[in-house]
A and B are shown apart, each in its own frame.
Chain A
Amino acid sequence: MAVVASREQALAVAAVPRVVPSHNGGGGHHDEPQRPAMNQLGLWLFFVSESFLFASLLVARFYLAGTSRGHVDQMLGLGITAVLLVSSLTAYLSEVSIAQGNRGAFLFYLLLTIVLGVAFAGGVAFEWSTAEFSRSEPYGTAFFTMTGLHASHVISGVAMLGLVYYLGLRGHFSAKDHWGVEAVVKYWHFVDVVWVFFYPALYLIGA
């Protein structure tokens, strides 16, 4: 086998400037046909991974405290849950609006989502400040860790929604190209779904 020759040939081939429309540099983030599908899968795999984190806390809650529950403000719990569920709806409407090219509605619903997200985080903070149990007892440990980790996801979601809002104001995103909006909205739904599991585990089960 003409080893050296083939090496030089291959190097020569590599050195010839090429026109490869679907690939660029090593950045790999320009115009590949698989890009939308890869982004989707990547995002969903991230959710799968995060689910394991939240599941570990859900399991820990029952392992530590069984079904016993400290005193929580039921109306507040119901209220912030409703706020978060509605915020998923507004996030969805925001995404649909940009998909239809309606920038005004997109920004309006996005802002509404941010406001609802902040309201949810504020509700959690209020619950923390008025809690009648301490973090050094089993239920309190589970409660503060689960709501804390969830709220940190809500706050990071609000930050990303805020970034999308800023970009949207400056004319980014369109009916054809709004992956950034879609990704953040999906993340928002995911955080919402986590709460759908956490809420009954912390507020409803047991006595």
Chain B
Amino acid sequence: MSETAVVQQPQGAMPAILPVVRGIIGAALGFALGAGATSLIRIATGHDAWDLELNFVLGYTLAAPGWLLGVGVWQFWGREWLGWKPQEPLLHGWQRYFTFCTDHKVIGVQYLVTFVVLFLLAGAFAMLIRLQLLSPENPVLADGTYNRVMSLHGIIMIAVAVASVVGGFGNYFVPLMIGARDVAFPRLNALTFWLIPPVAVLLLGAQAVGGWDSGWTAYPPLSVRNASGQIFFNMAIITFGLSSILSGLNFLTTVTYLRAPGMSWGKLPVFVWSVICASIIALTFTQFFAAAMLMVTLDRIAGFSFFSASDGGKPILYQHIFWFYSHPAVYIFALPGFGITLEIIAHFSRKPLFAYRWAVGGMLGIVAISGLVWAHHMFVSGMSPWMHGMFLVSTEIISIPTGLVFLSALGTIWMAKIWIRTPMLFALSVVFNFMIGGLTGIFLADVPTDVNLSDTYFVVAHFHYTIVGAEIFALFADIYYWFPKITGKMYDERLGQIHFWIMFIAFNMTFIPMFYPGLHGMNRRIATYTPDLQGINIFISSMAFILGASFLIFIWNMCYSLLRGPVAAADPWRARTLEWRVSSPPPVENFPALPVIHGNPYDYGVPNAPAYAIIAIAGASGEDDPAEGGN
């Protein structure tokens, strides 16, 4: 095998749609088997043949593996379990984007495109929400429909926040940045992506059976009693959690064992560190969300009483288990955002990253404390009062490591000759937005203020500042920063900057005023509000529509540049990290020979700093280090 040329011929003219069709057939067979067996047992035990939720859950339990086996797991992996020879995945041609491809760059693009599409879709739902809130008199949606739209917006955006940066850019760039040819478990990596389509289908398909109206948090008792769409949501979360856990496992193993020679832990780019931190959280805490969903499912379909207070169950148990994942999860969103922000700020400030070790320590500190703060979401839940002070303090403490990351960004900008390009604008805006998100968070961490602000639009504004303001802005920084590397084309800088300014201003004009109705008691997740708040809501909605429209510029810029844009240089930003030492887009297996690392990734303008990396084969652009002024 290995002595043959790496460049393989595409395996015949395989229609690109075939793997997906196989997957759908596999899913249908699996579902028929699971749901059919359930019906037989029900008939045998004297019940009706069909119980939507029970049949669906047991059908889906086999449909998901059926989908995976059909889409490529069997062909490229499963045959091995029976001692047969698996086929080699397709590594060339556009078809590979629709197949079970093990190339980390293809998987990165698959994640990225999928989640940008989901982001725009969930953004459209947000537009619907803001349309509704133009007036307190329910102009657009019925109350129940409003809650379903709000729930769908919430969970899709959460999924985007979890997987767009880590799944998309983590997959594409972590192996490149550490000087590896691929991740540790390439087939597992492909599997994590192909778990995503069922998640999207479940969440959207749930609408066919009434959707669910319990938000993305799905608190019982509502989530045990509402429409059957809830059960689709539960299955979607368990599936998505599995994907998240396995990709965390993969990143941790990859970075531990596949760093290039000389790439010590202290020379890792800070983005890689942030993915490590997010992976630790994803690997461990995600199980709690899955456990919570399992419990709700058992309560619904099998008469268990985890959360049924009349049978001795405890609804607050759900909140503990749920937030034990879902608070650390916000660091799965935020940390890669911080990582890429520091990365871009260092490259565009043309200075060494300030206090690299402290920034990395800060991120690890966040991971360490992330599991100790969850109950600050529950100050009004009725949990034992002795927990209030404890969680107030731990929540305040986590701002210390976060502050270290922040100071690293500020110290890097300090006295820098900043090179303003679209990625840098987005990165700087992350610092600004997260400052507002962080400062308003103090009021939600402190019990006396939180008791009044809980479940109001103050909370909505706060977490949009942290998640959209930090991670989604960082996602767009990423997209512009790495667009030339991924596509080999350059985006239009002028349109990029126009997109940035409209998005940045409209975002702040939407969410700064939103603190005000929150302070005046406007409840989140409710389709109406008191009439005196209509003026400010009209303003917020108008700005939200402009925010939404700004993405049209982005879509145009990306599509046009992809098709007609100028050819991008291998290293348009003159950055030191490894991904810029290979062509745009990088070849299969990334490097002609494994790079050897000598210097630090951010030693811009440091006298006598060694080149970051040397790639042995002549012709690769490893030796011409831009920081040494050789250009």
A interface list, Cβ under 8 A from B:
1, 3-4, 6-7, 9-31, 34, 37-38, 41-42, 45-46, 48-50, 52-53, 56-57, 59-60, 63-65, 135-138, 141, 144-145, 149, 163, 166-167, 170, 172
Contact = CB atoms under 8 A, between A and B. Distances in A.
Nearest to B185: A42
Nearest to A135: B304
Given A1-B631, A7-B567, A7-B570, A50 B317 contact: no
A104 to B, nearest CB: 19
Interface in B610-631: 617, 619-621, 624, 626, 631
A23 B308 CA distance: 55
13 contacts: A10-B583, A14-B588, A31-B2, A34-B258, A52-B284, A53-B287, A136-B304, A136-B311, A141-B306, A145-B298, A149-B294, A166-B82, A172-B83
B427 interface: no
Given A10-B619, A34-B258, A138-B305, A1 B253 contact: no
Interface in B73-104: 76, 81-83, 88-89, 91, 101-104
Contacts of A170: 83
B620 A13 contact: yes
B415 to A, nearest CB: 26
A28 B104 CA distance: 11
Contacts of A49: 245, 248-249, 283-284, 286-287
B186 interface: yes
A26 B249 contact: no
Contact of A13 (B103, B294, B617): B617
B252 A63 contact: no
B563 interface: no
Contact of A20 (B2, B285, B298, B314): B2
B431 to A, nearest CB: 30
Contact of A38 (B257, B285, B291): B257
A10 B291 contact: no
Given A45-B249, A45-B252, A26 B182 contact: yes
Contacts of B588: 14, 26
B13 interface: no
B183 A28 contact: yes
Interface string B285-325: 11110111011001000111110100111100100110010
A27 B5 contact: no
B311 A11 contact: no
Interface in B102-161: 102-104
B91 A25 contact: yes
A7 B294 CA distance: 51
Contact of A135 (B5, B303, B314, B592): B303
Interface in B565-589: 567, 569-572, 574, 582-584, 587-589
A52 B6 CA distance: 41
Contacts of B311: 136-138
A29 B1 CA distance: 11
Contact of B2 (A21, A34, A48, A172): A21
Contacts of B1: 24-25, 30
A29 B588 CA distance: 16
A7 B6 contact: no
A145 B295 contact: yes
Nearest to A138: B312
A141 to B, nearest CB: 5
Q: Tell me the dominant secondary structure on chain B's binding face.
A: loop
B345 interface: no
A38 B88 CA distance: 21
B616 to A, nearest CB: 11
Given A1-B569, A141-B305, A144-B304, A10 B620 contact: yes
The interface size bin for chain B is: 35 or more
Contacts of B287: 49-50, 52-53, 56
Given A26-B91, A38-B253, A137 B305 contact: yes
B3 interface: yes
B291 A48 contact: no
Given A38-B256, A49-B249, A64-B312, 5 more contacts: A18-B6, A37-B257, A42-B253, A52-B288, A163-B81
A56 B6 contact: no
A138 B304 CA distance: 8
A170 B22 CA distance: 30
Contacts of A138: 305, 311-313
Interface string B379-418: 0000000000000000000000000000000000000000
Q: Tell me the dominant secondary structure on chain A's binding face.
A: helix
Interface string B316-340: 0100110010000000000000000
Nearest to B188: A42
A74 to B, nearest CB: 24
A42 B570 contact: no
B462 interface: no
A28 B312 contact: no
B583 A25 contact: no
A7 B569 contact: yes
A46 B2 contact: no
B567 A17 contact: no
Contacts of B313: 64, 138, 141
B8 interface: yes
A23 B181 contact: yes
A27 B186 contact: yes
Q: Which of A45, A137, A167 neighbours the largest number of chain B CB atoms within 10 Å of its CB?
A: A45
Q: Which of B187, B592, B631 neighbours the largest number of chain A CB atoms within 10 Å of its CB?
A: B592
Nearest to A50: B287
A3 B435 CA distance: 38
A-B pairs with lowest CB-CB distance, top 8:
A14-B587, A17-B5, A10-B583, A3-B569, A53-B287, A52-B287, A56-B291, A26-B103
B17 interface: no
A26 B6 CA distance: 9
Contact of A18 (B82, B286, B295, B592): B592
A19 B515 CA distance: 61
Contacts of A34: 184, 257-258
A83 B619 CA distance: 64
A154 B337 CA distance: 40
Contacts of A163: 81-82
Contacts of A6: 569-571, 583, 621
A111 to B, nearest CB: 18
B208 interface: no
B89 A63 contact: no
A42 B254 CA distance: 9
A18 B617 CA distance: 11
Contacts of B621: 6, 9-10
